[in-house]
A and B are shown apart, each in its own frame.
Chain A
Amino acid sequence: MGDSDFVYGSSLSIDSMKVIAESIGIGSLGDDAAKELADDVTYRLKVILQDAMKFMHHSKRQKLSITDIDHTIKSKNIEPQYGFLQPDSLPFRFASGGGRELHFIEEKEIDLSEILSAPPPKVPLDVSVRTHWLSVDGVQPTVPENPPPLTKEIQKLESVDPISKLNKPTNKDAAGKPMCGKAARLKASESVHVKQLATHELSVEQQLYYKEITEACVGSDEGRRAEALQSLACDPGLHEMLPRMCTFISEGVKVNVVQNNLALLIYLMRMVKALLDNQSLYLEKYLHELIPSVSTCIVSRQLCLRPEMDNHWALRDFASRLMAQICKTFNTSTNNLQTRVTRLFAKALQCPSQTNNENGVGPSMVTTMKESEKTPLASLYGAVQGLAELGPEVVKVFILPRVRWLGERVEGALSGLGGADRQAAGNLKQQLLKVLAPVVRQLRQPPDLPEEYKRDYGYLGPSLVQMVAKQRSSPAGGGGGGAVAVVTCTPPLVPSAPSPSPSPSPLQSHSHTFSTKTVETVATRNVVISASPTPQSPAPATPPPQKFVIVASQQKPPQAQPASGASHIVVHSSQPAIVRSQNVQSVVVTSGPAGAAPPQKVVVVGMPPQAAPPASSAPASAAHPSHPPLVQTASHPPAVASSASQAPVSVVAKPVFTRGGGGGAPQPPPELDDLSHLA
């Protein structure tokens, strides 16, 4: 009776009865009485629950609610228990100890005055009706209102266990494609089922879609590209096209890397980003195509025609974030994705010396110089960035031990003659400092002595010590709380230009700094290069007049603030600001390098939701540029690139802030404002 009869239900225990009796003041309840009560209460509770099921069913629910029990009690002519309302399921807490187990509801004491003084809660939204097509002539359109034809779970299952698909030959007929004509008849008659080889045949509509999307993604019309990327990122039901999309991307990367077509590489990476963002897709099956492509864009020796001019760094940053996102999403204990990717990057850092770097003994200068031809600085930069996005732990283990050697490389390149190399070295240095500073700050105790740093980290030591010191002094502590705009106005690193002060840049790494550079070349061309949230001052650009505007802001409107420094300007206020550099006074710059303008690559790496409004639409005040709502920006083309080959394209350049979902940087993604209102 009180025994555990689990097949046909359990019953309340005698102990519970006693506890309940005690709670209402009956101290000594006899065992017999308690047992009698337990049996009876169990019976009555079960009767009520059985009837409550009917109320639940008639309310067309599958979850019993408290109102069901109330109605049941009412129907049995018992006063219902008032005051028990729980819109969702009851959050039972469990506690055990002393051999006793207890389930209870956590009840918090509520301060009434707090409730009274608080603003009234929002009125719940009224019920509304929304219409959509669930099926058109028997085919379910893949619109966002409909669930994806293959749920993510099934895609996942298929990628893990392909046999499961063969076991369910009917699932396609039941859920997916129309079964008509010959196939239906074949199925009806008992024919021999031949396993079809091509399981991903596309309908005519899908073929058209594929064509449109791929053309738009790599075409010159920014508006269409934005729509296409939006479609890739949001539309359900793309899974049938995934193999082709991925092949398209991987082939595209292969071709364009060879041709150094930076713009197209960026477009392709944005496609990857869109696919990754699509909630209804499960990409694991296609990682073998995506990962090589993405890592190519991170560490490739050369990604653009003129490494000294074009901002291929942004592409590397963006691709690194993509890689981090991929690792985060798809890493499992079986594929060891993150380990393999980490090893890939680590190898790039390790490769030239061939010696064991971990023991702290850096390779000699001679070897480095000799090997430096093997691993270009750009690749090193990519590898560092790729590792940095994987988190501080990875930085600590894989980058920190090689700082000395990397420093030597940088030093060598900076003192060298090659313009591109020097620029690359500068970038690499900034990147290293930014990546390492937080880690070093955690590792070392406060007295930051330049000598120690110099000893431990070689060339980069002095810069690092300043960086760390700055971080320690800043109250935000790297949290990146306030939106800070940092404007760097630096003469670009042109070969002839004096090298930027080798002194450590005063950039605060706790703040997001974006170097956004607008280069207006001939006539209608707006070029915006938006770099990643890395303090990446001197952004490479074409020599002639240009403006660097870095605007970082989250919610607060930026304020214009004049800046004086010629090199790096750090605005310490939490207010975002737009600063114009002294030496670049004119905002509207119309002349490019007279006529010479070699194919101008424009690099914009963008993530649509955070895009700024189109440049053309915002001639407004520079002081209070409006921050567009997400919806609006999503519909606008976020970024632009143009290449010389597509000559008369009137492209509207918009700065776009990019930020991969993964990575270790915990800062919230800021928005980049439009630049054109400076015009």
Chain B
Amino acid sequence: MGDKSTPLLAVLQLLRKYNLKGTEEILRKEASLGDAEYENLDLPEVELASILTAHHTESDPYSYEFAYESLKKFIENSLDIYKYELSTLLYPIFVHMYMVLILYEHTTHAANFLEKFGPEQEDYYQEDLKKFSIVKNKDQIKGNELAEIYSSNKFVVQLSRDASSQLKRFLHEQKTTVIINIINNHIQIEVHDGPGRSLAQIRATAGGMLGEATRNENRTKVYYGLLKEPDIQLPPVPVEDEEETEETPDKPKKKKAKKDNIFMKKPKSDPNAPPSDRIPLPEMKETDKLEKGKALREASKRVHLGPDSLPSICFYTLLNSGHTAICADICDDSTLLAVGFNNSTIKVWTLTPVKLRGMKSAEKLQDIDREAGDVLVRMMEEKDRDTCRTLFGHSGPVYKVAFDPFKNLLLSCSEDSTVRLWSLQCWTCLVVYRGHVWPVWAVRWSPHGHYFASAGHDRAARLWATDHHQPLRIFAGHLSDVDCVQFHPNSNYIATGSSDRTIRVWDCLTGTQVRIMTGHKSPIFVLSFSVCGRWLASGGGGGELMIWDISTGLPAATLPPAHTAPIHALAFSRDGTILSTGSLDCSIKLWDFTAITEEVSGEEIGNNSTVQKDDRFLLRSFPTKNSPIKDLHFTRRNLLLGVGSYEGSS
């Protein structure tokens, strides 16, 4: 009864959709359907089409197995230049066949089908497949995260022109329409003009939850250059506050930028830089400028790093923290360390002999002469000093803490779905930003302060300004949790990494997605832009490290797997020559980033060729004594600081 009624119901639903009442009535009578079944006409819209187109084969569950096998055979027998591209079709077709089998309640066949062909799918899909395989009947398809993603989105497959015509020929020869229906309904075939890609090329970009990123999606120009550093001796360039109404991405406004930059220190302007007023940036305060000046002085004493002069690493071990410490951050001038804990608290330590001081009470503050030169010192409490302060406020584990560039403020995000802004002067919570619905996984400051971005379990990233209690932008598009977020050094873009194994770059101005990058084989937990702004490094749950070229949106390098556990910390040295990664496998690794980028620049940019590199980029690995790495930070003089929590000798 079940397998018979499904197409009938589908037809009935279709008739109702087009409001053909008469026909509907007759059909109902003729099929002698009960009222109960009639009422339950809620088949998913997309499935409707596939059911209707497939209805004549649906009665035969074996046809799926047969069709899949013949497709497999066709792909295996095709020429090598087509073979690898075509094989990317197998997984989506497999998944949708399984879904159709479930929908028609051929549960036994579905299980057999899964058992037979599941293990031979690509290794990076196995995790998904395991998650998806828990769906064992029709009711579970509704509401299952993965099933919804698969049925409501199209899987993207890129084929060369020849390969796609091969495929077409094969499909025409087929007796059943099973595969053709799935391709029509659930797969988006992008045809490109180049030659067929090799296995390595495909592997480099494959792995996304819904296939590869298409080239069309990454055509928008991205201004990956850096903004001019404001000259701290001069008053900063006045920035216009008006937002541009229309953005023409293909027309860089270099000239205007140049005019503004006359007073800048570096006379040369970066051709890829966005106009300095593209995003309104806050004016720097006097104290901020002092801080900036200090940073520049420090930077002049910086050690130059390279493969032959590796940085020293100072490691901060959190003792007695067990599994309670979750995240850590070190402020830009490396004087403060903040750690977020499982028990909703945040602790801030000072890393220098300077103690942490609280601000005086309001009454006492009134007595202070505001014109005094040392007003900033005077307003701080004299007695109340500590090397560690605890911030209470969250009601769930704190998943990320972040110091603002001028170390006055601290942001934290938590399982309680809020982002909190804390003052590091009075040591209290200033603002609670509510907006996320579910736990917030990540929060990051813009390099210029004022703005920050957050990302969470609700599959969206948000852009905020500290003075607004509502988000300025919501970046939606990821198919699964957004696990990490990172600002571009020029504050114009943010990058997000997600459990759907894609990295997306969003334009803060327009709120649109400008890049989507696939190639990761596991969820992405940490992102970091290179100092020059062109490259993006990303660390995944499987311990893999990838380098992306923002200008093209293509993977620049897939570094050989060196870590055995998720990477949760990435840091570029201040001169951009060394990349350091820290992982839960209790080791810090240093990579020769100069060599990586030189390698890429040497290659033809634009073709999808990224070959697996050998391990010559890995400079060194430093294990710790069972302390998983929570954070890495380069000081302004290029000393690497690491933070980890000791988990006892096992």
Contacts and interface: CB of A to CB of B under 8 A. Distances in A.
B588 A134 contact: yes
Interface string A509-522: 00000000000000
A143 to B, nearest CB: 10
B337 A129 contact: yes
A43 B130 contact: no
B623 A137 contact: no
A624 interface: no
B134 interface: yes
B401 to A, nearest CB: 13
B620 A138 contact: yes
Contacts of B640: 135
Of B316, B640, B642, chain A has the most CB atoms within 10 Å of the CB of B316
B565 interface: yes
B317 A145 contact: yes
B135 A175 contact: no
A174 B618 contact: yes
A60 B566 CA distance: 8
A147 B624 contact: yes
B317 A129 contact: yes
Interface in A1-56: 1, 3, 5, 7-9, 39, 42-43, 46-47, 50, 54-55
Interface in A135-156: 135-138, 140, 145-147
Contacts of B523: 57
A178 B326 CA distance: 32
A39 B397 contact: no
Interface stretch (A119-127, A157-165, A300-308, A666-674): A119-127
Interface stretch (B1-9, B257-265, B289-297, B303-311): B303-311
Contact of B130 (A8, A129, A136): A8
A39 B135 CA distance: 10
B107 interface: yes
Nearest to B119: A7
A62 B566 CA distance: 9
Interface stretch (A63-71, A487-495, A577-585): A63-71
Nearest to B584: A62
A582 to B, nearest CB: 53
A89 to B, nearest CB: 11
B315 A1 contact: no
Contacts, number: 170
B628 A8 contact: no
Interface residues of A, number: 56
Given A60-B327, A134-B588, A126 B320 contact: yes
Interface stretch (B108-116, B403-411, B467-475): B108-116
Contacts of B322: 87
A129 B399 contact: no
B321 interface: yes
Interface size class of B (residues with CB under 8 A): 35 or more
Contacts of A60: 326-327, 566, 568, 584, 628, 630
A248 interface: no
Contacts of B134: 9, 42-43, 46-47, 50
A137 B638 CA distance: 11
Contacts of A145: 315, 317, 625
Of A54, A129, A180, chain B has the most CB atoms within 10 Å of the CB of A129
A134 B622 contact: yes
A43 B136 contact: yes
Interface string B121-150: 000000001110111110010001000000
Interface in B489-518: 499
B323 A127 contact: no
A60 B631 CA distance: 11
Interface string A169-187: 0100111001111001001
A54 B326 contact: no
Nearest to A138: B310
Interface string A471-496: 00000000000000000000000000
Contacts of A65: 323
B549 to A, nearest CB: 24
A188 B614 CA distance: 10
B396 A127 contact: no
Of A8, A132, A184, chain B has the most CB atoms within 10 Å of the CB of A8
Interface string B615-650: 110111111111010100000000010100000000
Nearest to A236: B625
A133 B313 CA distance: 6
A147 B312 contact: no
A442 interface: no
Contacts of A3: 111
Contacts of A195: none
Contacts of A124: 320
A650 interface: no
B435 to A, nearest CB: 16
B211 interface: no
A4 B618 CA distance: 44
Contact of B315 (A54, A55, A133): A133
Contact of B323 (A55, A63, A71, A146): A63
A130 B316 contact: yes
A61 interface: yes
A468 B327 CA distance: 64
Interface string A646-677: 00000000000000000000000000000000
A191 interface: no
B319 A130 contact: yes
Contacts of B315: 131-134, 145
A1 B310 contact: no
Contacts of B133: 5, 8-9
A174 B591 CA distance: 11
B624 A134 contact: yes
Contacts of A9: 130, 133-134
Interface of A: 1, 3, 5, 7-9, 39, 42-43, 46-47, 50, 54-55, 57-63, 65, 67, 71, 75, 87, 124-138, 140, 145-147, 170, 173-175, 178-181, 184, 187-188
Sorted nearest first, the 7 A-B pairs with minimum C-beta distance are A138-B310, A8-B133, A134-B315, A134-B313, A135-B313, A125-B320, A46-B134
Given A131-B316, A146-B625, 7 more contacts: A57-B525, A60-B566, A125-B320, A134-B588, A137-B312, A138-B312, A145-B625
21 contacts: A1-B111, A5-B114, A7-B118, A8-B133, A9-B130, A43-B135, A54-B481, A58-B441, A59-B342, A59-B397, A60-B566, A67-B342, A125-B320, A127-B320, A134-B622, A135-B313, A138-B309, A138-B311, A145-B315, A145-B317, A145-B625
